[in-house]
Amino acid sequence: MKNFVKNTKMNKLYFGDNLDILKELNKEYPKGLIDLIYIDPPFNSKRNYNMLFEDIDLVGVKAQKQAFSDTWSNVSYMDTLKEIANLNQNLYQLLKTLDNISTSKSGISYLTTMAIRIWYMHELLKDTGSFYLHCDPTMSHYLKMICDFIFGEKNFKNEIIWHYRRWTGNAKAFMKMHDIILFYGKNAKKIKFNVQYTDYTEKSLKRKQNYHTRIKGDDVFETSIDERGVKENDVWNIQYLNPAAKERLGYPTQKPEELLEKIILASSKKGDLVADFFCGCGTTIAVAEKLSRKWIGADISHIAVKLISDRLTSKYGKGVRKKFEIFGFPKDIKSAKMLAEETKGGRFKFEAWIIEVMLHGILNESKNQMGYDGYFTFDFNGDLQKGLIEVKSGKATPTMLNHFIKTLEDKNGDIGIFVCFEEQVTKNMKIIEKQGGYYKGEYFGTVYPKIQILTVEEIMNGTEIKKPVSIKTDYKKAQADDAYKQEKLNPPN
């Protein structure tokens, strides 16, 4: 990860633990770098973050991918506490006190994990910078204390209430229809802030219009009508993303772009640097790009990083890919081999990278029972079909290929993809591949090999799985933003 922040002209998308990224950025820019940080971290240690994929009968239930891992309860928080003690003694004492009382271990682990990350985020802000922390009532009161200790109470600006309508609730409680966003400045006296406005209510507008007809001498205040509207308050009524929303990408905690637009417009200007270190499906990143801000995004899920990259290109065109770098994935065959052979736990990370990032498939978490590493779905004449993927990070032999073919037959797979390094492919393996036959015969004059050996080298050079063009996809794509493209072609004067 060394020297991964040198080029400040490029936007950056990181796959990895955001703590490592924050520390590296802090080393490179000890005086601060970022104008605005917004984060929407997991709220608690019991929350599952699932990406739902196509309904495919592999194990008799809807296929799900545990894409956004919950790490809080598994963190060795005692080591993190010791690290915090060397950074901020008051913060350490707060967490230690919470640890000594009735706070659950998963709760204190979560708070410790968040505290050290927020500390580094504070360090990375410019003096004029702003910090927005999105949280819900389960942890907002604890997180407020942590932020007060890190930023200082005098630098607290607002507790913003995001109010929405959503038809869920407990019969013995009021319906829960809001989230909390804590807003801090690095330095309250220097903070950059652009006043936002909202429309007058009909009653307010009518009342102001009537003021002009009042008899002179009446006690009338604020009588003029500001064409910009009324200054925005700290309660924002913004529609929650329903399952049918055009923005919806299948990410369960996805936030509406309108919410991020309001934050980014208030606390940054064009050309400023916006960062989100829990960027999920990339709403912050997409809006920052739309509003001509530079950006940094990070996520511990390789699926999320790939989803963000796809979201940007789908929404803003393929040309946007030249504007950002992705860190954390192998960039050449040498680094791919290092991941497969030398990195701790690398074999499993290598498989995940090949299947989910490079081949757009789904990692099979039950591979020990099922006999294959991953799968993908595709549409053929209206019917959903399935393909199986086997990835070999080390040795690959004809026997292994034959075993995979038997698994494909047992699981009623339609196409089988066998992945290995080029040097592992033998003449016998190529013969076995040819003997596998073809999928479905002809389809508009095209045939598709039922067994396909794809080398890592080929995949990194852009070779894709040979299969019918699918109407349906495993990942929902973002809507194209024609207004953004037009603005880039014809920028305003």
pLDDT tens for the 493 residues of the chain, in order: 444 455 556 899 998 889 999 999 999 999 999 999 999 987 654 444 333 343 344 433 333 344 334 445 445 678 889 999 999 999 999 999 998 886 677 788 889 999 999 999 999 999 999 999 998 788 899 999 999 999 999 999 999 999 998 766 667 888 888 999 999 999 999 999 999 988 887 777 777 666 655 544 455 447 566 777 888 999 999 988 877 777 877 666 789 999 999 999 999 999 999 999 999 889 999 999 999 999 999 998 887 888 898 899 988 988 898 899 988 888 889 989 988 886 555 677 888 889 988 898 888 877 666 789 999 988 877 788 899 999 998 899 999 999 999 999 999 999 999 999 999 999 999 999 999 998 875 556 678 999 999 999 999 998 999 988 765 555 566 667 766 554 554 443 3
CATH code of domain 333-460: 3.40.91.30
What type of residue is 135?
A: C
Cβ 412 vs Cβ 394: under 8 Å: no
Residues in a beta bridge with 375: 362, 388
Q: What is the pLDDT of residue 104?
A: 77
Euclidean distance between CA atoms 141 and 475, whole angstroms: 36
Q: Give the CA count within 13 Å in the CB-facing half-sphere of 81.
A: 18
CA distance 304 to 483: 25
CA distance 266 to 287: 13
Q: Would you list the domain boundaries of the chain?
A: 11-196+232-327, 333-460
C-alpha 385/C-alpha 388 separation (Å) is 10
The token pair at 99 is 């640890």
> What is the CATH code for 11-196+232-327?
3.40.50.150
pLDDT given for residue 441 in this prediction = 56
Q: How far apart are CA 366 and CA 357, in angstroms?
A: 19
- pLDDT for the residue 46: 42
The span from the CA of 491 to the CA of 136, in Å, is 39
Residue found under tokens 């901020």: 88
Task: Name the β-bridge partners of 37.
Answer: 131, 275
Query: How far apart are alpha carbons 428 and 433 in whole angstroms?
Result: 9
For position 489, what pLDDT does the model report?
42
Give this prediction's pTM.
0.79
- The answer to whether residues 73 and 107 touch, using CB atoms and an 8 Å cutoff, is no
Q: For CA atoms 390, 395, 396, 399, give the dihedral sign.
A: negative
Whether 256 and 247 have beta carbons less than 8 Å apart is answered as: yes
